[in-house]
Amino acid sequence: MEYRQLAVPGAWEITSQQFGDSRGIFLEWFKSTTFLDAVGHNLDLRQANMSVSAAGVVRGIHFSDVPPGQAKYVTCVKGAVLDVAVDVRVGSPTYGQWDAVLLDDVDRRAIYLSEGLGHGFMALEDDSTVIYLCSTEYAPGREHGIHPLDPAIGIAWPTTARDGSPLVPLLSEKDVAAPTLEVARAEGLLPTLEAVDAYAASRRR
């Protein structure tokens, strides 16, 4: 299992070794000891989610108040998604920047996003199925969003599906109504790097 830190600090791409034979394949998509060595703390699992999305569906950009925030360990078990980490931490040197990982049912990679990061993805084919391990339970009053098409962030969402057909972003009403990054900052919704670092320090081994 190989961890690669993304351009947004606090996010990692995880690539697992796949073992295949005539029956199919086997892989470890999460392992606590490897996770601890790479990230520096344990994943405190409190909730597991699944979403199934049509091609073009964009979910996010979502983030939670810190502390405690909500860290996510995400993979795609069917289909394909472009999964995106966005730095929404006020005071971070990479504030407003993003990085992405292709999650699909071929390479079967995962992504880990620590507390304080924004998370979103676009489905690249119908019935793309994503599963998330979450460090906290869903708490509506602590959850927030940034508009995923905010030009100031400038995420390069794919325009072509895996089958070559054109992709048109499809957003929920909630995500359509989400503020831009700078409006969210002005409204005091964003976590600060100081708060995120203090919370992370309290969790290190």
- The 3-state secondary structure of the chain reads CEEEECCCCCEEEEECCCEEECCEEECCCCCHHHHHHHHCCCCCCCEEEEEEECCCEEEEEEEECCCCCCCEEEEEEECEEEEEEEECCECCCCCCCEEEEEEECCCCCEEEECCCEEEEEEECCCCEEEEEEECCCCCHHHEEECCCCCCCCCCCCCCECCCCCECCCECCHHHHCCCCHHHHHHCCCCCEHHHHHHHHHHHCC
Which residue range is the domain that position 161 belongs to?
Answer: 2-203
Could you list the active site residues?
62, 132
Domain count, the chain: 1
Render each residue's pLDDT in the chain as its tens digit; 205 residues.
Answer: 999 999 999 999 999 999 999 999 999 999 999 999 999 999 999 999 999 999 999 999 999 999 999 999 999 999 999 999 999 999 999 999 999 999 999 999 999 999 999 999 999 999 999 999 999 999 999 999 999 999 999 999 999 999 999 999 999 999 999 999 999 999 999 999 999 999 988 877 5
CATH number at residue 12: 2.60.120.10
The model carries a pTM of 0.95
